[in-house]
């Protein structure tokens, strides 16, 4: 992680400008930390967020509608987080043990080039408790009245060069 952050810092120092899907009002002090940042967001296309590589599973909204207000844990880690099998298992078992309704986004790039497999019996034991989708309409989920909290951890970010 340290190497990754260091490489980002070096890239930022060498760049004339950094375009970010961000807006000044979100955190005005950030522009003092990065004077070469140009906020260009949030990026929308026809009033909807753009930049999604995967289609959103809108069925999770119907599932959220059936949950009590303030009851659902939303676990989504974006496309930058990568888990090994042990971390994946721990997260799955943690969501199961909490015993609260959860919506878990398990995107196609959540593991280091391999598929992560759910712990034995996990899918059956959480069938009435949780919902797992490949991608969710995040803004709609975050605004949903059934949401209790948003769990977001950045794990194992890999850098790549294009």
Quick one: pLDDT at residue 134?
86
pLDDT digits (tens, 9 = 90+) for 54-92: 678 899 999 999 999 999 999 987 666 677 788 889 999
Residue 11 forms part of a structural domain: no
159 has a pLDDT exceeding 50: no
4 domain residue, yes or no: no
User: Does residue 36 lie in a domain region?
Assistant: yes
Domain that residue 136 falls in: 59-151
Same domain for 76 and 20: no
Strand, coil or helix: 151: strand
Write the CA distances from 122 to 83, 88, 127, 128, 132, integer angstroms.
17, 12, 8, 11, 11
Q: Give the burial string for 150-159 (b: 16+ CB within 10 Å, else e).
A: eeeeeebeee
Are 144 and 61 a contacting pair, CB within 8 Å? yes
The structural domain count of the chain equals 2
Q: How confident is the model at residue 98 (pLDDT cuts 50, 70, 90)?
A: very high
Residues 68 and 142 in one domain: yes
- Distance separating alpha carbons of residues 87 and 6, to the nearest angstrom: 24
Distance CA 8, CA 151 (A): 24
pLDDT at residue 160 in the model: 39
Q: Per-residue pLDDT averaged across 13-31, rounded? A: 74
Q: Do both 78 and 107 map to the same domain? A: yes
Evaluate whether residue 69 is within a structural domain: yes
> How far is it, in rounded angstroms, from Cα 19 to Cα 71?
37
Q: What are phi and psi of 143, to 5 degrees?
A: -90, -5
Rounded-to-integer distance, Cα 54 and Cα 142, Å? 18
**pLDDT grade, residue 25 (50/70/90)?**
confident
The mean per-residue pLDDT over the stretch 94-115 comes to 79
| Model pTM above 0.85 | no
Looking at residue 93, what is its pLDDT? 93
The secondary element (H helix, E strand) that includes residue 75 is: strand 72-75
Give the per-residue pLDDT at 162: 35
pLDDT at 71: 97
Higher pLDDT, 125 or 109: 125
Q: 138 pLDDT exceeds 60?
A: yes
Together in a domain, 27 and 107? no
Is residue 10 in a domain? no
For residue 103, what is the domain's CATH number?
3.40.50.2000
**Same structural domain, 79 and 143:** yes
Given a contact cutoff of 8 angstroms between Cβ atoms, the answer to whether 101 and 71 are in contact is yes
């Amino acid at each position: 992680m340290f190497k990754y952050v260091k490489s980002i810092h070096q890239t930022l120092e060498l760049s004339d400008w950094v375009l970010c899907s961000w807006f000044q009002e979100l955190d005005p002090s950030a522009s003092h930390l990065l004077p070469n940042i140009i906020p260009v967001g949030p990026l929308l296309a026809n009033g909807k967020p753009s930049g999604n590589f995967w289609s959103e599973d809108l069925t999770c909204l119907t599932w959220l509608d059936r949950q009590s207000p303030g009851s659902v844990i939303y676990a989504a880690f974006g496309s930058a987080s990568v888990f090994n099998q042990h971390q994946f298992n721990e997260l799955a078992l943690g969501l199961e043990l909490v015993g609260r309704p959860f919506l878990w986004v398990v995107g196609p790039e959540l593991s280091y080039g391999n598929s992560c497999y759910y712990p034995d019996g996990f899918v059956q034991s959480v069938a009435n408790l949780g919902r797992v989708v490949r991608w969710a309409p995040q803004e709609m989920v975050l605004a949903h009245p059934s949401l209790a909290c948003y769990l977001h951890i950045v794990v194992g970010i890999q850098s790549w060069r294009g």
